[in-house]
Amino acid sequence: MSQSPSSYDEMFEADGTVRPAYAGYREWLHGQDSASLRRKGIEAESFFRRTGITFNVYGDTAGEERLIPFDMIPRIITAREWRKLTRGIEQRVRALNAFLHDIYHRQEIVRAGRVPQRLIAENAAYLPQMVGMVPPGGVYTHIVGIDLVRTGPDEFMVLEDNARTPSGVSYMLENRETMMAMFPELFTKVSVRPVQDYPRRLAKSLAACAPACAGDRPTVAVLTPGIYNSAYFEHAFLADQMGAELVEGSDLRVVDGRVAMRTTRGYTPVDVIYRRVDDEYLDPLTFNPNSALGVPGIMDIYRAGGITIANAPGTGIADDKAIYSFMPEIVEFYTGEKPLLQNVPTWRCSEKDSLAYVLDNLAELVVKEVHGSGGYGMLIGPTASKKEIAAFAQKLKAKPANYIAQPTLSLSTVPIFAKSGLAPRHVDLRPFVLVSPQGIDITPGGLTRVALKKGSLVVNSSQGGGTKDSWVLED
């Protein structure tokens, strides 16, 4: 199997020998018949189709449902690597929560001159309605997805923080279930830490964040925008797996100072809402008056301490890529420690010198919108045409504060099972983190997204990427 000399391959050394993490898996793979493995690949696809594991596509093909391609070669992380990662992730998530509390209260980090005031005040994701508000249990980010990339043996970096409504955990769970169904003997040969108990852990973590008015068995509901949302499968899947109710805004109303859901026995109070609806649509009386997705009056109940909303409204500011560029300062300010996980070097185009550098070097850089997601609205300089670069330069000059730029990283690769055999493709990793007053719980693994096109660095499913099962080895 050939690989780019500049990319770190997680399975193979440069001379083609297998790295220790993959030794057990490679031994098993050697004993498999390639025709049988191809049949298993087709089997996996039909399993995903039967289960309904699809995502909706917006834009040119709006409403079209697609399968996310699944690759059978797992991505394997050693116990030692995982211990190191979890320490860094936990430190970062604690800092994010402290930052969110601070910016909605005294803004000490702004007073200290570590983060510019305008980044908060002029940010569309900053909600003045949250000023002075402390969520039940003091938790803002109940569920966090930290996107990591690897560039070398011990070099993991944070590419992005997802503190608003991180998605993809259903694929992590279904990928594992599919692998265990197809290759049960493999899991007796290689000891892999389980991820299947995530829904139980999620339900427990959310219940621990219930408001004071909740009883001994808090009622948890998942609020979905409905069947046309791109992640609807995940909303329904998680509600079912947690034993929680799946509700839409029209199923909820304010009754006697509580948020209640419609049932066959009338309206029953809800204690915790795991919402997959954006802030803007959450409450038409507080935010967008035309929203039919939210619950009129829910923010009044929330401010009075009558319900927990996970994640808290206003957490989206922590997803902002301009804020991301300050994360080393944010981590140090709130924890008193140097970050254990590094950021990708970032140029803020709002700053004159940085903008000049970025404009001069567009062909080598990746440029992203500060509020962008899903791989949209970005420029990958090395793969862009001169015409695309010139057009993007005009966008940058018109609204520099809308963009940040980063070097084109040599992301690590993991083999995929291609027609020609094993072939290296670039990957990232999104571990899922649960936060409650009882502590921080990180599921061992996460969602590995893989760029299926040779040489591509874009792993997003909406841009043609696929997924892999992520294994964390037992000690």
Report d(CA 458, CA 463) in Å as an integer.
7
- The predicted structure's pLDDT at residue 105: 98
Place of tokens 């621990």: 208
Q: How far apart are CA 72 and CA 394, in angstroms?
A: 43
Residue 47: predicted pLDDT: 79
Rounded to an integer, what distance in angstroms lies between the CA atom of residue 475 and that of residue 469? 19
Fold that domain 212-306 belongs to in CATH:
Rossmann fold (3.40.50)
The burial class, CB within 10 Å (0-12 / 13-18 / 19+), for 159 is buried
Strand 365-369, strand 379-380: pairing: antiparallel
Helix (H/G/I), strand (E/B), else coil: 463: helix
Give me the pLDDT at residue 6, please: 67
Which helix (H) or strand (E) segment is 28 a member of? helix 23-30
User: What is the third-level CATH fold of 345-407?
Assistant: Dna Ligase; domain 1 (3.30.1490)
- Contact (Cβ atoms closer than 8 angstroms) between residue 436 and residue 142: yes
Instruction: Say which residue the tokens 């297998």 belong to.
Output: 18
Q: Please, is 328 exposed, middle or buried when counting C-beta atoms within 10 Å of its C-beta (0-12, 13-18, 19+)?
A: middle
Question: What pLDDT score was predicted for residue 5?
Answer: 45
In this prediction, residue 48 carries a pLDDT of 78
Instruction: Kindly report the number of other CB atoms within 10 A of residue 116's CB atom.
Output: 15
The answer to whether 161 and 144 are in contact (CB under 8 A) is: yes
pLDDT at 64: 56
Could you give the CA distance from residue 310 to residue 274 in angstroms, rounded to a whole number?
A: 5
Residues 6+ apart with CB under 8 A from 39: none
Crossing angle of helices 169-182 and 34-51, rounded to 10°: 140
In this prediction, residue 475 carries a pLDDT of 84
| 357-361 own/partner pairs: CB under 8 Å, 24+ apart | 358/396, 358/403, 358/405, 359/393, 359/396, 359/397
Rounded distance between C-alpha atoms, residue 160 and residue 373, angstroms: 10
CA 149/CA 409 separation, integer angstroms: 9
* Structure tokens, 84: 């190191």
Question: Residue 113 class from Cβ within 10 Å (0-12 exposed, 13-18 middle, 19+ buried)?
Answer: exposed
DSSP annotation string for 249-287: GGGEEEETTEEEEEETTEEEE-SEEEE-S-GGGT-TTTS
In this prediction, residue 271 carries a pLDDT of 98
Q: Coil, strand, or helix at residue 132? A: coil
Q: Using only C-alpha atoms, what is the Rg of the chain?
A: 23
- Rounded Cα distance, 102 and 37, in Å: 53
- Which residues, including other chains, have CB under 8 Å from residue 213's CB and lie 6 or more apart? 258, 271, 305, 306
Q: Answer whether the bond into residue 361 is a cis peptide, omega within 30°.
A: no
Position 152, amino acid:
G
10-residue stretch averages of pLDDT, the chain, 475 residues long:
64 95 95 88 80 54 65 96 97 98 98 95 94 96 97 93 92 94 94 97 97 94 93 93 97 96 94 97 96 96 97 95 94 98 94 94 92 72 91 94 91 91 94 97 96 83 83 95
Q: Where in the chain is the domain with CATH 3.30.1490.270?
A: 345-407
CA angle, 299 then 301 then 304, to 5°: 110
Output the CA torsion 267→272→275→280 (10° steps). Answer: 80
Which ranges in the chain are annotated with CATH 3.40.50.11290? 212-306
Residue-level pLDDT at 371: 77
Q: Quote the pTM value.
A: 0.93
Strand-pairing partners, residue 403, are 369
